């Protein structure tokens, strides 16, 4: 899995965004969303928000990989985003044989918020103390982890639209339905690829709907409802 725009926004909210180069507490040149500038990087002293997001997407790849490796159960997009945000702050150690990973991997999802909130301390003069900022961050990550994916909406001038994340079973159903009307012509495999994307978009266009499929966001429920009516 990969983090969504919603997850990147959460990281940005807690890490902060600075478009001008600065020196972090560790004495390293930094910019964007906590991006440490390497000697080999030719990054100007001032950047745009768009460039900062590109840097963040690159930086977050390491943490996406960690969640994909250390978590052995299927996650929805909100759960994945929350865990990536969590270890972006704590490092991969936040998921290596910890209460968080044990709760997730045992599918005891109700225990995850409490496990996350234990990671809210910093050392002051060698003594571990609660940090209010970390407490609030853990609460927001826990809230996202427990939030159903179906509640995520895309806003615009039109009424709010809901999305359902792609799963292998959902994709097989979509591929089967679209194959029956000649829009999907290869093997039904439950994987999201160019043929599936093209078939869904063609189906939407045939139904007078201008729609571009986003594999990370999932499929719009109104499009899915029409597909499911195919007999």
Query: What's the pLDDT band for 125 if we cut at 50, 70, 90?
Result: confident
Output the domain CATH number for residue 176. Answer: 1.10.101
State which of 147, 173, 197 marks the end of a domain: 147
Local structure of residue 151 (DSSP, 8 states): G
Q: How many domains does the chain have?
A: 2
Beta bridge partners of 154: 161
Regarding whether 162 and 51 lie in a shared domain, the answer is: no
Average pLDDT, the chain: 90
The residues annotated with a catalytic role in the active site are 15, 24
State which of 80, 113, 147 marks the end of a domain: 147
At residue 156, the pLDDT reads 43
Regarding whether 38 and 138 lie in a shared domain, the answer is: yes
Regarding whether 184 and 138 lie in a shared domain, the answer is: no
Could you give the CA distance from residue 155 to residue 196 in angstroms, rounded to a whole number? 25
Query: Per-residue pLDDT for 129 more than 50?
Result: yes
- CA-based nearest residue to 6, from 152, 157, 167, 218: 152
127, containing H or E segment: strand 127-130
Main-chain dihedrals φ then ψ at residue 142, nearest 5 degrees? -65, -40
Instruction: Please write the tens of the pLDDT for every residue from 135-180.
Output: 999 999 999 999 988 644 444 444 456 888 899 999 999 999 999 9
Output the domain CATH number for residue 139. Answer: 1.10.530.40
Instruction: Please write the tens of the pLDDT for every residue from 50-91.
Output: 999 999 999 999 999 999 999 999 999 999 999 999 999 999
**pTM of the predicted structure, to 2 decimals:** 0.63
At residue 71, the pLDDT reads 95
Regarding whether 73 and 52 lie in a shared domain, the answer is: yes
Regarding whether 162 and 120 lie in a shared domain, the answer is: no
Q: What average pLDDT does this structure show over 190-208?
A: 90
Instruction: Please write the tens of the pLDDT for every residue from 23-45.
Output: 987 789 999 999 999 999 999 99
Could you give the CA distance from residue 166 to residue 192 in angstroms, rounded to a whole number? 8
Regarding whether 163 and 138 lie in a shared domain, the answer is: no
Regarding whether 160 and 89 lie in a shared domain, the answer is: no
Could you give the CA distance from residue 222 to residue 84 in angstroms, rounded to a whole number? 30
At residue 215, the pLDDT reads 83
At residue 161, the pLDDT reads 63
At residue 163, the pLDDT reads 86
The proportion of the chain whose per-residue pLDDT surpasses 90, expressed as a percent, equals 73
Structural domain range at position 184: 156-228
């Amino acid at each position: 899995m990969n983090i969504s725009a919603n997850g990147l926004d959460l990281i940005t909210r807690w890490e902060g965004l600075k478009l001008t180069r600065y020196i972090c507490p560790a004495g390293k040149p930094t910019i964007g969303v906590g991006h440490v500038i390497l000697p080999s990087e030719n990054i100007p002293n001032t950047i745009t928000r768009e460039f900062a997001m590109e840097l963040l997407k690159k930086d977050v790849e390491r943490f996406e990989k960690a969640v994909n490796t250390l978590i052995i159960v299927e996650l929805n997009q909100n759960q994945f985003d929350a865990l990536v945000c969590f270890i972006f702050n704590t490092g991969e150690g936040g998921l290596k044989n910890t209460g968080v990973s044990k709760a997730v991997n045992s599918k005891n999802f109700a225990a995850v918020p409490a496990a996350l909130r234990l990671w809210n301390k910093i050392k002051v003069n060698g003594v571990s103390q609660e940090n209010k900022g970390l407490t609030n961050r853990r609460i927001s990550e826990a809230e996202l982890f427990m939030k159903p994916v179906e509640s995520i909406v895309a806003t615009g001038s039109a009424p709010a639209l809901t999305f359902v994340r792609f799963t292998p079973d959902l994709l097989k159903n979509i591929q089967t339905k679209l194959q029956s009307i000649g829009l999907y012509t290869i093997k039904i495999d439950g994987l999201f690829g160019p043929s599936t994307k093209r078939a869904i978009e063609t189906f939407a266009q045939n139904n007078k709907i201008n729609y571009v499929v986003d594999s990370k966001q999932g499929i719009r429920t109104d499009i899915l409802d029409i597909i499911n009516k195919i007999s």
